[in-house]
Structure 1
Amino acid sequence: MTRLSRHFLLADGLYVLILFWVVRAEFRPHPWFVGMFLVLALLFRVGLGGTNLEEEYNPLLFAFWSWVRDPLANAYLALAQANGTPEPAGLVRLGRLKRRGRALVGLYRLPPGESFTSLREKERELASALGENLQITQTAWPGCVEIARFPALPRNVSLRDALPAFKQNTEGLSWCLGEGVQGPVLAPLRQYPHLLIAGATGGGKTNALKVIAETLKFQRPDATVVIADLKGGYDYKPLLDTVDEVIRDLPRLHAWMQTLVTTLAEREQEAWERGTTCFTPCVTLIDEFATITSTANSKVDKETAEIAKAILMMVNTILQKGRSLGLHLVIATQRPDADTIPGTLRANMDALLTFHVTTQVQSAVVLGPGHNEAFELPPIPGRALVSLGGQLEHVQMHLWR
């Protein structure tokens, strides 16, 4: 039973109870007693009149509770005391909290000596103390900030929870990049045509590739989705009935990349003649990309090395020219170093999904110099960072089936 239903039952129950007492001849309640129950029932009804049917909460009760107890202000005071401030001044909320999607948003007045910049520096510590995710925004009012509190990311999210979001998505075919604090994170392929995935063993990289392949086919059954796994392809055997092909060796990947380059040339000619770039999407997911780069640098088997070098050249061609012609690449690697992900390749990757990496250098290779966030990710399977246009967002990757 929802909270909304319980509120309705409680309000109606008060009315029924009063009528029952009044009707019974042997019981004569005092008028003040009856009036008290009528006022309580009326308050519940007034609250229900403004109830948000989607969020299912009672505004009157919620407003009262938010005034009595503000966890964010308490967390700020506790953090200030832990940092050695003897008598810290706290955040003062102006007005009551409001719901905005899945977030609770409030306007706060900063204490003396605190600024928007200094509070932003404490954002991670505050979020950790509160057990939620925070977003601090500057406002037009001097000395005031808007703070949005989002529920903490769950540790396990089923892929089924993300499927309804695709039915409401109006951006077209999109990457499914996990569950964010505001719901599933979807990145349209027309805006982010290529995707780079990085992460150490056990972080959730293989699961992410399965989720992406599954959701692409769910959105566009006519799209071509091919997975290349050069370590045998056993992890993707359950997807044989979903995707178009699972490539397991280097020569077959070389042949497929040649097909893509040929398709690219044909689509370029068609786009020139017809003036259209509307083509059926073709997505290739390459797992263990480091195997290709290491093979290309091998001096033992020169013939295989030449095949790997040719694949790398064709990958760069697709990355540069395929973005507007419906040819998309997903490159995944466990070792995101400068040799595995050259600068030319990294520059053409529009969307990034990184799980926990083992060194700060790897984090900087994926996210850019000075960014250690991927190294600092908690060791939770599926916990990742998404970078779209330089904006980082924490997500929990959905569990494939």
Structure 2
Amino acid sequence: MEVGKPWHEDLHPETKKSVLAIVFFSLTVLTLLSYWGKAGFVGQFFFEILLWLFGNGFFLAPLTFALIGFSFLFSFRRHIYAATLVGGFLFLVSSLGVIDLVLGNQAGGHIGRFVTYPLFMLFDFWATLTIEAALFIAALLIMLNIPMLWFGRKVEESESSSAEATEDKEKTKELAGVIKDVMTEAVKAVKGDTMAGSVEAQKTIMLDEKTKGEEKFSFEKKRPGAAPYKKPPLAILNNDKGTPSSGDIRANANIIKRTLQNFGIEVEMDEVSVGPTVTQYTLKPAEGVKLSRIEALHKDLSLALAAHPIRIEAPIPGKSLVGIEVPNRSIALVGLRSLFEQAAFQESQGPLIFVLGRDVAGEPVYANLAKMPHLLIAGSTGSGKSVAIHSILTSFLFRNSPDTLKLILIDPKRVEQAMYNGIPHLLSPVITDYKKAIHALRWAVHEMDKRYELLSQEKTRDILSYNAKISQVQNTDKEILPYIVIVVDELADLMVAYPREVEGSIIRLAQMARAVGLHLIVSTQRPSVEVITGLIKANITSRIAFQVASQVDSRTILDMGGAEKLLGNGDMLFLAGDIAKPRRIQGAFVSETEVKKTVEFLKNESGEEPEYAEDIFSPITSVSSPDSQINFEDFDSDVDDELYEEAEKLVIEANKASASYLQRRLKIGYARAARLLDMLEENGIIGQGAGAKPREILVRKEDGVA
């Protein structure tokens, strides 16, 4: 305990409330015992005083004490004990006044007479009764901290479906504000009320404020004869669940300060932000303190706080502060519905704005794929990649009709995206075959070239200006161009099978497709340099990193460490192309049930049917040279690598076969070496792999095959 600090300051707020509840319950029992003459001469003296003060309203004293006790135990109020006591006092005084007014003969004791007499002289009977009854009700609400709407909530829920929707919206706002309430409380606990304003000044984060200005134009031009498009209702989505608990914030702040002082680092504690998953304690180091000294103590801080893992952000972008992020004891589940209902999301005009989640301060965070213009998502298995893709796709489906957005979903894993089959936004059924995936990527490159030709003919610079010009022209056969989003749910599988074709198509799209409205979302659970190559990273600058196993993997994704200290379950680091440091965000959770409800609505109620591109799997003729054709039938050949013969010769001559051997001799990457081994196995040159044992060479040099 610090010198000069009151002893009770170290107690947890819930402990203080429990102690006060016990005190008032004890007063209730003692008051009743004094009435029955079971409390000795002190109790008798106490009873006579209460009888003189309260008269026939003596029974209100134990009732008030009991209500105050229950208020401390079950009220939603935090730390504000004076309001409960003031409410109890007003409840007692107003009750005694009503008793004295109605029964007369000083039935409310001297207190009742003191309250009622001047009011009666000024207002007469009925006006006085109205005033005292109003004071009685107000005092009860203050003491129990319960709004009047609470009493009728159950009735409103069952009246009608419209009433349910209204109340659900109110509950959503209430749930969405829980995190901010806790955050404000935390700030007051550490720095006092003066900091509350700075916290409340935080606004919903839209990663690009230019969105509203640049994408105000809405292209909802319908095809002739098409039925009106109905967007899914928000009622099929879930709200936030749970309340984050960070433990004793004041005690943790003191532990951080003392731990740093033990190593000779003087700091001043600053703001505290409670988010859904972590609590960020900010501090200002003394002059001359190197930030590297603080960063080097993350293990010592983790030990002192009994929390693992902690992450140190030094410095926080835009502030002269260092942030220490400590995992919460209990976390809140961020639902899509509360984020969709925010005004920032509802009022924004960009068609490709999507939900990311909530940051360390509990504020909603949104991003605009049109500004990125492509996104790379990577992380270990089970860290939240697929859920993030579902939340992004759900955001798009809730904002766009099939006339403004088309999707190409590539799912080599065969299980994640299959539920989207049949929605009207798809350009093809969900693609699970590797060769069809290559066809689709090449088709996208061809579509990009076609769109550039259209833009050149109309002398426009991007899809926005082209659509704006076409929409203003009457009686034209040209159609508005929809945005096309291509989602690859597992890049590693495609890179192992066809590394050159996949990398070439992705790089071409990433370099040029933004202006014509084609955007990539690429995901992988294997963040290695063979999958996320240097060219892919150079052209996809916006990235999301989920929890990974090592700092090496984090550097592969973000070019810096940090992702290895995440907690999983949607905890992410988001690095936008225009910022230098990643931001920590708790991703929004969308369940499989919510996705299926959305898909069923789009298939049954949207008024649209899927219109697949007929040529998406056909051989593509290049725009620049119409006579040249990309022949995808070559993929059917078992020998489609020019190094195959050389690899076969090396394996037979050395009488051994391994990926590392081929990498060294042929100077190729692991993915290509593994592909060559698979081809050699398929052609009967080598045997199957048997764990750590070397592969058997089935063809000898003397056989004359090499």
With normalisation by structure 1, the TM-score equals: 0.70
Quick one: structure 1 residues 239 and 162, their matched pair in 2 at CA, closer, same or farther if it must change by over 3 Å? farther
Point out which structure has higher relative CO (alpha carbons under 8 A, 6+ apart).
1
Q: What does 1:322-337 correspond to in 2, within 5 Å?
A: 322-337=513-528
Does the CA-based 8 Å contact 1:199-1:334 persist in structure 2?
Answer: yes
Partner of 1:189: 369
Does the CA-based 8 Å contact 1:71-1:130 persist in structure 2?
Answer: no
Partner of 2:415: 234
Specify every segment of 5 or more residues in structure 1 that has no aligned partner in the other structure, as ranges. 45-52, 298-308
1:18 maps to which of 93, 96, 104? 93
Letter in 1 for 2:553: Q
Quick one: structure 1 residues 162 and 121, their matched pair in 2 at CA, closer, same or farther if it must change by over 3 Å? farther
Q: What does 1:109-124 correspond to in 2, within 5 Å?
A: none
Is the aligned partner of 1:384 residue 2:551? Answer: no
Identity %: 22
Is the aligned partner of 1:282 residue 2:484? Answer: yes
2:386 maps to which of 193, 206, 210? 206
Partner of 2:551: 360
Partner of 1:161: 338
Does the CA-based 8 Å contact 2:275-2:358 persist in structure 1?
Answer: no
Aligned-partner Cα distance in 2 for 1:310–1:264: 17
Letter in 2 for 1:19: S
Give CA deviations for 1:350-394 in whole Å, capped at 9, x if unaligned. Answer: 3111122233332221111xx22123333x332222111332122
Does the CA-based 8 Å contact 2:295-2:312 persist in structure 1?
Answer: no
Letter in 1 for 2:369: L
Following superposition, the deviation at residue 56 of structure 1 comes to 6.5
Aligned-partner Cα distance in 1 for 2:348–2:289: 41
Following superposition, the deviation at residue 228 of structure 1 comes to 0.3
Does the CA-based 8 Å contact 1:76-1:90 persist in structure 2?
Answer: no
Following superposition, the deviation at residue 323 of structure 1 comes to 1.3
Is the aligned partner of 1:247 residue 2:427? Answer: no
1:29 maps to which of 78, 95, 111? 111
Following superposition, the deviation at residue 314 of structure 1 comes to 2.1
Does the CA-based 8 Å contact 1:105-1:146 persist in structure 2?
Answer: no
Give CA deviations for 1:317-350 in whole Å, capped at 9, x if unaligned. Answer: 1111101211001111122222212211111113
Letter in 2 for 1:74: N
Letter in 2 for 1:383: D
1:225 maps to which of 407, 414, 418? 407
Letter in 2 for 1:154: I
Following superposition, the deviation at residue 196 of structure 1 comes to 0.5
Following superposition, the deviation at residue 162 of structure 1 comes to 2.8
Quick one: structure 1 residues 92 and 13, their matched pair in 2 at CA, closer, same or farther if it must change by over 3 Å? same
Aligned-partner Cα distance in 1 for 2:494–2:90: 74
Quick one: structure 1 residues 123 and 324, their matched pair in 2 at CA, closer, same or farther if it must change by over 3 Å? farther
Following superposition, the deviation at residue 254 of structure 1 comes to 2.5
1:393 maps to which of 583, 589, 603? 583
Aligned-partner Cα distance in 2 for 1:105–1:202: 25
Q: Which moved more, 1:334-343 or 1:273-282?
A: 273-282
Quick one: structure 1 residues 382 and 274, their matched pair in 2 at CA, closer, same or farther if it must change by over 3 Å? same
Does the CA-based 8 Å contact 1:213-1:225 persist in structure 2?
Answer: no
Aligned-partner Cα distance in 1 for 2:266–2:188: 23
Give CA deviations for 1:107-160 in whole Å, capped at 9, x if unaligned. Answer: 97766875778667768976994979887879999xx96989999593633333
Quick one: structure 1 residues 173 and 2, their matched pair in 2 at CA, closer, same or farther if it must change by over 3 Å? farther
Give CA deviations for 1:56-82 in whole Å, capped at 9, x if unaligned. Answer: 79x99x96896599446413334236x
Give CA deviations for 1:255-282 in whole Å, capped at 9, x if unaligned. Answer: 3223312321222122222415224211
Does the CA-based 8 Å contact 1:287-1:332 persist in structure 2?
Answer: yes
Quick one: structure 1 residues 123 and 293, their matched pair in 2 at CA, closer, same or farther if it must change by over 3 Å? same
Quick one: structure 1 residues 106 and 385, their matched pair in 2 at CA, closer, same or farther if it must change by over 3 Å? closer
Aligned-partner Cα distance in 2 for 1:65–1:33: 42
What value does the CA root-mean-square deviation take over the aligned residues? Answer: 4.8
Does the CA-based 8 Å contact 1:198-1:366 persist in structure 2?
Answer: yes
Is the aligned partner of 1:294 residue 2:476? Answer: no
Partner of 1:374: 563
Q: Which moved more, 1:382-391 or 1:106-115?
A: 106-115
Letter in 2 for 1:373: G
More helix by share: 2
Does the CA-based 8 Å contact 1:177-1:187 persist in structure 2?
Answer: yes
Is the aligned partner of 1:314 residue 2:505? Answer: yes
Partner of 1:48: none
SS of structure 1 residue aligned to 2:371? coil
Letter in 1 for 2:411: D
Aligned-partner Cα distance in 1 for 2:282–2:564: 33
Specify every segment of 5 or more residues in structure 2 that has no aligned partner in the other structure, as ranges. 1-74, 101-105, 117-134, 143-173, 194-248, 465-480, 592-706
Aligned-partner Cα distance in 1 for 2:77–2:350: 34
Following superposition, the deviation at residue 202 of structure 1 comes to 2.0
SS of structure 1 residue aligned to 2:564? coil
Letter in 1 for 2:394: E
Letter in 2 for 1:285: V
Partner of 1:305: none
Q: Which moved more, 1:148-157 or 1:68-77?
A: 148-157
SS of structure 2 residue aligned to 1:91? strand
Quick one: structure 1 residues 256 and 110, their matched pair in 2 at CA, closer, same or farther if it must change by over 3 Å? closer
Q: Which moved more, 1:211-220 or 1:6-15?
A: 6-15
Q: What does 1:96-115 correspond to in 2, within 5 Å?
A: none
Does the CA-based 8 Å contact 1:104-1:150 persist in structure 2?
Answer: yes
Q: Which moved more, 1:338-347 or 1:123-132?
A: 123-132
Aligned-partner Cα distance in 1 for 2:588–2:349: 21
